[in-house]
Amino acid sequence: MTDARIIPLTIVGDPTAAACVGDFCEIPEHHEQAVVNARLDDDNV
């Protein structure tokens, strides 16, 4: 069994930011809301 070494990093920023994990790329809910807001802006609603 391999003994994976972990190099410590201080994680900063939004922990829910969109990322691809494995072969799946999730879209957090706040991103969907951002798109809706952008469309409303585009439509000048």
Partner 1 sequence: MSEPIKVDIWSDVQCPWCFIGKRKFEAGVAEFGGEVEVEYHSFELAPDTPVDFDGTPVDYLSDRKGISRAQANEMIDRVTGIAKAVGLDYDYDHIHQTNTVKAHELLHYAKSKGRQLEMKERLLEAYFLNGEHVGRIADLADIAADIGLDRDDVVRALESEEFLADVKADVAQAAEYGINGVPFFVIDGKYGVSGAQEAQAFANVLAKVASEREAVQ
Question: Could you list the residues that contact partner 1 (CB under 8 A)?
Answer: 4-7, 9-25, 27, 31-32, 34-35, 38-39
Shortest distance, CB of residue 1 to partner 1, whole angstroms? 14
Instruction: Give 24's strand partners.
Output: 21
Q: What span, in angstroms and rounded, lies between the C-alpha atoms of 45 and 40?
A: 5
Shortest distance, CB of residue 39 to partner 1, whole angstroms? 8
The smaller minimum CB distance to partner 1, of residues 5 and 45, is found at 5
The smaller minimum CB distance to partner 1, of residues 1 and 6, is found at 6
Residue 17 one-letter amino acid: A
Q: What span, in angstroms and rounded, lies between the C-alpha atoms of 31 and 10?
A: 24
